[in-house]
Structure 1
Amino acid sequence: MSSPAPILRRAFAEFLGTGLLVTVVVGSGIAASRLSTDVGLQLLENSIATAFGLAVLILMFGPVSGAHFNPVVSLADWFLGRRQRVGLTLPAVGVYVVAQVLGAIGGAVLANLMFDVPTTFSTHDRATPATLLAEVVATAGLVLLIIALARTGRGAAAAPAVGAYIGAAYWFTSSTSFANPAVTVGRLFSDTFAGIAAGSVLPFIGAQLVGMALAIALAVLLFPHVTDAAEEIVIPQLDDKLLDDKETR
């Protein structure tokens, strides 16, 4: 079995990747609201930037950390691999989640600074029965997609596939598909187009956890031996020695 990069290196990749993802989401949302007056056009601009940005970030950081950028993805990775002791360990999940949340907050602050917007809590209430159902659907679809790609040996397609899914889910869900507890927390720190009010954060995270559980149940039903895929989520990490060798060339 390959030896992954040291946990601190992987955590730093998760910090940067999640932070830059939130910078893309919040920054493109601010830009869209300034450049366009039509809400539909603003959402289109925001969704396109997010889809492309997420795909690029997965390609950039995937070889180091797997490019989870999302606590529910990290939890699913641990849950699927725990019996065979593959994928993330539970302590590593804790490190990943802390890095993801801190990165998400930092990413929102960075976007605010770039657009000269004060960093304040959002007042955009989003939690309704409809949007919470949408978060269950959006998260379940995202996690199931990632597991399916890993289990069927198509991890190389994760970057465009995950980017495309999130871009589409902006439109087919009423919540605009947060599908990520860390991103949800990060977007609390920007009272802009992409923000979410404090009162909506915990309900959204609860719905996302339900979506994750649903995705795992569906994956177990649909893909035999799905637990073998834990090491391949989202993108297989390069062996630590191989990674170092490639960096020195």
Structure 2
Amino acid sequence: MEHVFKTISEMALDVGNICVQIMIEKEHHKNVFEVLGTAFWVTYDGIQVLVTALHVMKGIKGNAKIRINGEIINLQNVKYYANDENDLAVFFLFTGNLESKSVNTISICDRKTEYSSVNRYFLIGYSQGARNRVNLNRKEFKMMQTTFSFAPLKDKVSSNTKLKDPIAFNFNLKDVYNHDVKKTNPPSFHGNSGAPVFELLYNKQLDKHTVKLTGVFLEYHKNQHEIIAVGYEVLLDTIRKCFKKAVFQSENRDGSRMIVFFTN
């Protein structure tokens, strides 16, 4: 078990840089922002998009920000494609210096078929709290990722969820261990909505581990000890529909900036 935890920690360091914080201004604290949810970069058809939970985007009220490559970007007027049935949102960011800066991303179509599953999964996100906070008054940027590792997919979802196509994993808050295999109290799941869920893979011939994107974390049901997500197929279908609905319009003659609309 210790070896598995260590491997997941190493993999999380490799892929965690695709994640970003979605932040909202703290009430009665101007220019102080707390985590509302997690988003992550995905590449589809050569274009980078951000994926998160729809309830996170709907929860944006007032001043909201996202920080990418050190740049603080407003989110209030960002258009997004919504999958209401499965609580997903997909959106594009063509603004500021993002055209000239590379962002870390994962290919939605890379399924790592030469690797085999080891039946272990994990998500990477940003838990709410003092360790994830931005204070623009003091130029303080606190970012600390959380990795939750859990058991294989369940055959049946026990929790009462409104998602059309949920998948579930066992996760008991009273039976949690850190990477040193010592019992610990885990951080909150609040703030992790929209986080990517990965599956740990292994190639025996190469003696090498890797991961593939398995889905998007959306809910935790404490009484049922269940992590609820939607799977890869739902995510891929949502992104494909997003691209069919998206209309790109150049803002400048050189096309260096884009505005995105969605058709009905």
- Both proteins in one fold, TM over 0.5: no
The structure with higher relative contact order (CA 8 Å, sep 6+) is: 1
Whose strand fraction is larger, Structure 1's or Structure 2's?
A: 2
TM-score by structure 1 length? 0.26
TM-score (norm 2): 0.25
Indicate the structure (1 or 2) with the bigger Cα radius of gyration.
Answer: 2
Relative to its length, the structure with more helix (as a share) is: 1
